[in-house]
Amino acid sequence: GEDVEQSLFLSVREGDSSVINCTYTDSSSTYLYWYKQEPGAGLQLLTYIFSNMDMKQDQRLTVLLNKKDKHLSLRIADTQTGDSAIYFCAERRNQAGTALIFGKGTTLSVSS
């Protein structure tokens, strides 16, 4: 498809793991990103993965990449209420230069 697809909502309990999924569009995309946006704020880069990697872990965050299926996931371990935000998946397509293509964002709601 033409769009980067994400589920729109995810609700978890504090302490549980959250998994946010994304399907991107271009198998030749070089970098895939996860950004976090809190209400009224800009985007904060959480992590990114190069296309020749399958997995990247950074503290509570784990990114899994399945190039065959063009599927990207972000796992947040021990989710906290402060993790409540919108999470955007983005890909950098070769033909677009360095411009990023964003999904519509997944709103993560963490309840205590």
Q: Which residues bind another protein (CB under 8 A)?
A: 30-31, 33, 35, 40-45, 48, 88, 97-105
Minimum CB–partner distance for residue 96 and another protein (Å): 9
Query: Which of 22, 110 has the CB closer to another protein?
Result: 22
Minimum CB–partner distance for residue 99 and another protein (Å): 5
Minimum CB–partner distance for residue 77 and another protein (Å): 22
Query: Which of 31, 84 has the CB closer to another protein?
Result: 31
Query: Which of 8, 77 has the CB closer to another protein?
Result: 8
Query: Which of 8, 17 has the CB closer to another protein?
Result: 8
Question: With helix as H, strand as E and coil as C, how does the chain read?
Answer: CCCCEECCEEEEECCCCEEEEEECCCCCCCEEEEEEECCCCCEEEEEEEECCCCEEEECCEEEEEECCCCEEEEEECCCCHHHCEEEEEEEECHHHCCCEEECCCEEEEEEC
